[in-house]
Structure 1
Amino acid sequence: MPKGRVRFVAELCKACQLCVRFCPKDVLSLDKHIINVLGYHPVKAINPDDCNGCATCALMCPDLVITVERE
């Protein structure tokens, strides 16, 4: 099974949650413990080991916050 690694530029995230909604593996969620400089809870990987590297999250992100690396 393919694996992936998701990286974020948390300071640019506007918490639109498009990446969270479209992730087929439920890897992402908003980090309710952090507020970025824009005043939003940024996205984070809550189940990083489940990432298959499909990059749907990165494609859906309107602010280019997400980078996906495939292993």
Structure 2
Amino acid sequence: MSATSPAAKKDKKFRGVVVINRETCKGCAFCVEFCPLGALELESDYNAKGYHPPFLAKPELCNGCDMCGHFCPDFSIYGYREKLEQVAA
């Protein structure tokens, strides 16, 4: 069963969330490089310091592993897992 199949999505119990402080980011792109799932990209816009901060380009891929946060030298980004509510059928 592939990760994008409807059955796989139905069984998913959490989603990844990424929090980014755009203004403290210096655009080093470590978070983008070390994201194991390729969920992050750099924005085309600049922050107040003149850098391109990251954004969650593919939220469906993020698993909240926080690798982005582990490698950020400025603590401008972190990830976490958010539990999905179980909907009774």
Match of residue 41 from structure 1: 52
1:20 aligns with 2:32: yes
Segments of 5+ residues of structure 2 without an aligned counterpart are: 1-11, 83-89
Per-residue CA deviations over 1:18-42 (Å, capped at 9, x if unaligned) read 010000110111001x111111111
Q: Which has the higher contact order (CA 8 A, sep 6+)?
A: 1
Match of residue 65 from structure 1: 76
Percent identity over the alignment is 43
For 1:14 and 1:42, the matched residues in 2 are separated by 7
Amino acid at match of 1:14: K
- Number of residue pairs matched by the alignment: 70
Larger radius of gyration: 2
Which residue, out of 9, 33, 53, partners 2:21?
Answer: 9
Match of residue 54 from structure 1: 65
Q: C-alpha displacement at 1:69, in angstroms?
A: 2.2
For 1:45 and 1:36, the matched residues in 2 are separated by 16
Amino acid at match of 2:17: R
Q: C-alpha displacement at 1:3, in angstroms?
A: 2.5
Contact 2:68 2:77 in 1 (8 A): yes
Amino acid at match of 1:59: H
